[in-house]
A and B are shown apart, each in its own frame.
Chain A
Amino acid sequence: MDFLESKCSFKNFTEELIKSSNSFECDNSDLNDFFQNDCLNYSKDLLGKSYCFTLDDDDTNIVCAFTISNDSIKVNTLPNNRKRHINKSIPRQKQFKSYPAVLIGRLGVNKNFGRQGIGTELMDFIKSWFIDKDNKTGCRFIVVDSYNTKEALNYYLKNNFHFLFSTELQEKEHMGLTISNELKTRLMFFDLINLGIEN
Chain B
Amino acid sequence: MAITIKNIPVLNNSSAKSFVVMADNASKKTVVVNFSSQVKSAKNILEKSKLK
Within 8 A of A (CB), among B33-52: 33-36, 38-39, 41-46, 48-49, 51-52
SS class, residues of chain B in contact with chain A: helix
Closest B residue to A174 by beta carbon equals B9
> Nearest 3 CB-CB pairs, A to B?
A128-B42, A196-B32, A34-B2
Contact flags (1/0) for B1-43 with A, using CB distance below 8 Å?
Answer: 1110111111111011111101100110100111110110111
Question: Does A43 interact with chain B (Cβ within 8 Å)?
Answer: no
Contact residues of B with A, CB < 8 Å? 1-3, 5-13, 15-20, 22-23, 26-27, 29, 32-36, 38-39, 41-46, 48-49, 51-52
Closest Cβ neighbor of B6 among chain A residues = A145
| One of A2, A80, A99, A129 near B42 (C-beta < 8 A) | A129
Report which of B9, B23, B49 forms a contact with A11, defined as CB distance below 8 A. Answer: B49
Complex-state Cα separation, A97 to B48, whole angstroms:
38
A1, A48, A77, A193: the one within 8 Å of B17 (CB): A77
Among the listed A42, A47, A196, which residue makes an inter-chain contact with B34, where contact means beta carbons less than 8 Å apart? A196
Q: Is the CB of B33 within 8 A of A165?
A: no
Q: Is the CB of B5 within 8 A of A47?
A: yes
Minimum C-beta distance from B15 to chain A (A): 6
Majority secondary structure, A binding face = mixed
Pick from B1, B38, B51: contact of A1, CB under 8 Å: B38
A151: Cβ under 8 A from any B Cβ: no
- Bound-complex Cα distance A2 to B42 (A): 10
CB distance from B24 to the nearest CB of A (A): 10
Q: Chain A: which residue is nearest B42 at the CB level?
A: A128
The closest CB in chain B to the CB of A165 belongs to B15
Identify the closest chain B residue to A11 (Cβ). B49
With both beta carbons as reference points, the residue of chain A lying nearest to B7 in the complex is identified as A71
Cβ distance B4 to chain A, nearest Cβ, rounded Å: 9
Which of the segments A15-23, A85-93, A100-108, A109-117 contacts the partner chain? A100-108
